[in-house]
């Protein structure tokens, strides 16, 4: 089994991006699962190009994209990606799309094909706080989740794909009082569990547990 896992490069004024930092700290092999780790540019269209190039060259069974959601206290698998780029802030080369469709021939939205409820259950069982998120935003994180699922739908039909948001790590909150964070070591453990769970459920239905919200 092959897993392609991606993080993002540094964004804005941040000195690090924990998504790429933690992704690149993973081993190359986990339980006979071959892992390819790549860092995507935090740029709308460039991130899509790099992702597709690596899917084409590596031929993964599973694509797991990782990004940061500052302010969240849990690891949050995303349920859905929507076909829109609407940037409140510019990406790393100044792109600020407003209400732009990502793919004209794509669906309005794609649901994650990762076992998101099994992932949440496994992380919580291992004392790593986790919950399903029902919005990936409209910035580059949603963009790359949408693109991974679009590619899986249109070009690579045997691939399972999805997106996971992680919190800040401790180094990022030294000047942010009361801001939630998670230890880097715990995020790395979580990513290993996410990979293993995704492989274990590759040919199985997701766990039937609630992941709903009232608002």
Predicted confidence (pLDDT) per residue in 79-103, tens digit: 999 999 999 999 999 999 999 999 9
Contact residues for 102 (Cβ-Cβ < 8 A; gap 6+)? 83, 84, 85, 143, 146, 147, 150
Phi, psi at residue 151, to the nearest 5°? -65, -40
Residue 49 CA neighbour count, 13 Å, CB half:
6
pLDDT of residue 123: 98
Which SS3 state, helix, strand or coil, does residue 3 take? strand
Query: Could you read off the pLDDT of 155-168 as tens digits, one per residue?
Result: 999 999 999 999 99
Q: For all residues of the chain together, what is the average pLDDT? A: 96
User: How far, in Å, CA of 182 to CA of 8, rounded?
Assistant: 18
Write down the pLDDT at residue 107: 98
Q: Catalytic residue positions?
A: 78, 141, 165
26 and 192 in contact (C-beta within 8 Å)? yes
- CA 134, distance to chain mean position in Å, is 13
Confidence label for 66 from pLDDT (cuts 50, 70 and 90) = very high
């Amino acid at each position: 089994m092959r897993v392609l896992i991606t993080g993002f490069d540094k964004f804005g004024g941040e000195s690090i991006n924990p998504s790429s930092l933690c992704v690149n700290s993973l081993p190359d092999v986990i339980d006979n699962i071959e892992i390819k780790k790549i860092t995507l540019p935090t740029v709308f269209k460039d991130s899509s190009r790099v992702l597709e190039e690596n899917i084409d060259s590596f031929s993964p069974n599973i694509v797991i994209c990782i990004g940061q959601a500052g302010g969240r206290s849990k690891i949050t698998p995303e349920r859905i990606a929507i076909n829109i780029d609407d940037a409140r802030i510019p990406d790393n080369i100044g792109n600020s799309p407003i209400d732009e469709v990502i793919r004209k021939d794509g669906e309005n939205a794609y649901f994650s094909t990762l076992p998101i409820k099994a992932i949440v259950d496994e992380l919580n069982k291992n004392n790593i706080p986790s919950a399903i998120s029902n919005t990936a935003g409209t910035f580059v994180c949603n963009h790359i989740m949408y693109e991974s699922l679009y590619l899986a739908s249109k070009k690579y039909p045997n691939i399972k794909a999805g997106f996971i948001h992680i919190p800040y790590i401790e180094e990022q909150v030294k000047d942010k009082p009361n801001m939630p964070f998670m230890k880097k070591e715990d995020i790395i453990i979580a990513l290993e569990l996410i990979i293993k769970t995704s492989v274990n459920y590759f040919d199985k239905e997701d766990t039937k547990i609630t992941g709903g919200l009232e608002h």
